[in-house]
């Protein structure tokens, strides 16, 4: 046995579906978990060749998986603070039309940095907006470069909008593509960036944006294209009542029935939000094996409603967690999303709606299932990728809380102490390994001012 090998010891180890190991240890060889055990690692197996990291006072979890984001939005946070989704979108679309690939790279770096610092190791990013005068491939390459820089895995949902205002859609014409452009560029993104290997750092899915910004034809054709290329499908669905009114008025049906009729259905699809699903639709989701990316903070920020996640999970629907774009979730931190998910679920569906163990599952294994990646990530088990996060649970914030998951989920949302992707540290002692956070904060501020000036929203 050669290569890199190390041991995380002395911490509480939490993984979906198994009791806490307290203390436990995790052994890593190269980019995979070699073993997970209870107590002290035996000296007979773990000789002096193994580097030991003492993580006493910490909780170790699988790396969190963010199943829905829009990284380009990190540069436009805090705008339209009191608006509905449609008002918020119509305020922001014209501003986003001024984004450059350089701004997208800084915005993505910042978004990915916030995720890494909050324990995330894989992010699904829905990139659906491409201004007319920008090279769209350069735009997504900027995101890929940012993910490589920060060190996280990126699942890029190459989205598109083709229903500009002149066609009865919500976005202005300068941020939409034609159907032919969108399909050709989607295929190009898959061909050039999608890596099917089990330990890939970049994968690509296809995802028309939403029923009110993408045409029926784009939905139908991109479903066909994704299936011919063997990649997954993603879209926004049933986020607000406005969306429901939109599809009822134009197509005479609710949003899910509408996209289903266009091929958006099945185990290769995960949808963002699913706030407004009725009982029948929940049963149909379970039957089809379609997953949900639950984004509670964004849904709260935009007053969209609260997705019935407990009902979905009891009904057999797989649910993962996402932060959604940072323009509707200014914090955009994964660990805070767990806290929010639990509180929202109990507020809506009662005190037994969601347990701390279930919310851990949602943020890890549930996310991996959304992305069809559950054979490699989402659990701490031998053979899985060494994507992990360690969290301090011994400071004043948690002092006297003797249930580690209660501290982690119910207590104050927190940053990760350390994060590993492929067994390689991305965050150490609460700081990014490969990026200077202070420099990045300055760059984000400078570029966001430039963007607001370009969009006439700042002098």
DSSP per-residue codes, 84-120: -HHHHHHHHHHHHTT--HHHHHHHHHHHHHHHHHTTE
Choice between 125 and 177, CB closer to Zn ion: 125
Q: Which of 324, 376, 398, 443 binds Zn ion (CB under 5 A)?
A: 324
- Beta strands, E only, 218-264: 233-237
Question: Residue 333's closest CA among 406, 373, 389, 270?
Answer: 389
Q: CB of residue 271 vs Zn ion: minimum separation in angstroms? A: 10
Choice between 209 and 360, CB closer to Zn ion: 209
CA 308 centroid distance within chain: 19
Nearby residues of 211 by Cβ (< 8 Å), 6 or more positions away: 237, 243, 246, 247, 255, 258, 259
**Binding segment toward Zn ion, per CB under 5 A, in 50-58, 223-231, 318-326, 332-340:** 318-326
**Binding segment toward Zn ion, per CB under 5 A, in 133-141, 224-232, 268-276, 372-380:** 268-276
Q: CB of residue 17 vs Zn ion: minimum separation in angstroms? A: 29
Question: Residue 450's closest CA among 198, 99, 54?
Answer: 99
Choice between 61 and 122, CB closer to Zn ion: 122
Residue 162 is a binding residue for Zn ion (CB under 5 A): no
Q: How far apart are CA 456 and CA 459, in angstroms?
A: 7
Choice between 324 and 376, CB closer to Zn ion: 324
Binding mask 208-227 for Zn ion (x = CB under 5 A): --------------------
Choice between 236 and 414, CB closer to Zn ion: 236
Q: Is 49 exposed, middle or buried (0-12, 13-18, 19+ CB in 10 A)?
A: exposed
Q: CB of residue 46 vs Zn ion: minimum separation in angstroms? A: 44
Q: How many residues bind Zn ion (CB under 5 A)?
A: 2
Choice between 169 and 404, CB closer to Zn ion: 169
**Binding segment toward Zn ion, per CB under 5 A, in 110-118, 264-272, 275-283, 334-342:** 264-272
Q: CB of residue 375 vs Zn ion: minimum separation in angstroms? A: 27
Report whether 64 contacts 120 (CB < 8 A). yes
Compute CA distances 324 → 126, 304, 426, whole Å: 9, 13, 22
Residue 281 is a binding residue for Zn ion (CB under 5 A): no
Query: Which residues in this chain contact Zn ion in the complex, by CB under 5 A?
Result: 272, 324
């Amino acid at each position: 046995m050669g290569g890199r090998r190390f041991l995380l010891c002395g911490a509480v180890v939490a993984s979906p579906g198994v009791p806490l190991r307290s203390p436990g240890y995790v052994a890593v060889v190269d980019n995979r978990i070699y073993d997970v055990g209870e107590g002290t690692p035996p000296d007979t197996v773990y000789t002096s060749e193994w580097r030991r990291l003492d993580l006493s006072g910490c909780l170790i979890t699988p790396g969190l998986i963010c199943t829905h984001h829009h990284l380009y939005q990190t540069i436009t946070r805090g705008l339209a603070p009191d608006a509905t989704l449609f008002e918020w979108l119509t305020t922001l679309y014209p501003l986003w039309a001024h984004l450059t690939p350089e701004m997208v790279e800084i915005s993505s770096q910042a978004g990915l940095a916030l995720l890494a610092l909050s324990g995330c190791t894989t992010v699904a990013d829905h990139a659906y907006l491409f201004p007319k005068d920008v090279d769209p491939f350069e735009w997504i390459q900027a995101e890929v470069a940012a993910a490589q820089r920060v060190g996280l895995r990126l699942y890029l949902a190459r989205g598109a909008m083709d229903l500009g205002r002149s066609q009865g859609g919500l976005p202005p014409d300068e941020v939409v593509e034609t159907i032919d452009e969108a399909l050709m560029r989607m295929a190009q993104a898959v061909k050039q960036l999608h890596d099917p290997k089990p330990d890939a750092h970049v994968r690509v899915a296809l995802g028309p944006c939403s029923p009110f910004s993408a045409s029926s034809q784009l939905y139908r054709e991109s479903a066909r294209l994704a299936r011919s290329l063997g990649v997954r499908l993603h879209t926004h669905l049933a986020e607000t009542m406005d969306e429901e009114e939109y599809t009822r008025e134009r197509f005479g049906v609710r949003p899910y029935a509408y996209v289903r009729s266009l091929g958006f259905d099945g185990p290769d699809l995960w949808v963002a939000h699913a706030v407004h699903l009725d009982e029948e639709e929940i049963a149909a989701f379970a039957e089809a094996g379609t997953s949900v990316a639950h984004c509670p903070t964004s849904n709260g920020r935009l007053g969209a409603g609260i997705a019935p996640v407990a009902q979905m999970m009891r009904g057999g629907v797989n649910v993962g967690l996402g932060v959604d774009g940072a323009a509707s979730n200014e914090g955009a931190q994964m660990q805070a999303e767990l806290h929010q998910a639990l509180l929202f679920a109990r507020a809506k569906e009662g005190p037994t709606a969601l347990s701390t163990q279930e919310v851990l599952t949602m943020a890890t294994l549930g996310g991996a299932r959304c992305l069809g990646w559950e054979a490699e990530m989402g659990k701490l088990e031998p053979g899985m990728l060494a994507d992990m996060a360690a969290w301090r649970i011994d400071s004043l914030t948690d002092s006297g809380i003797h249930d580690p998951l209660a501290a982690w989920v119910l207590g104050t949302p927190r940053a990760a102490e350390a994060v590993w992707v492929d067994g390689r540290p991305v965050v150490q002692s609460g700081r990014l390994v490969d990026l200077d956070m202070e420099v990045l904060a300055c760059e984000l501020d400078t570029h966001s001012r430039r963007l607001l000036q370009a969009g006439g929203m700042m002098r």
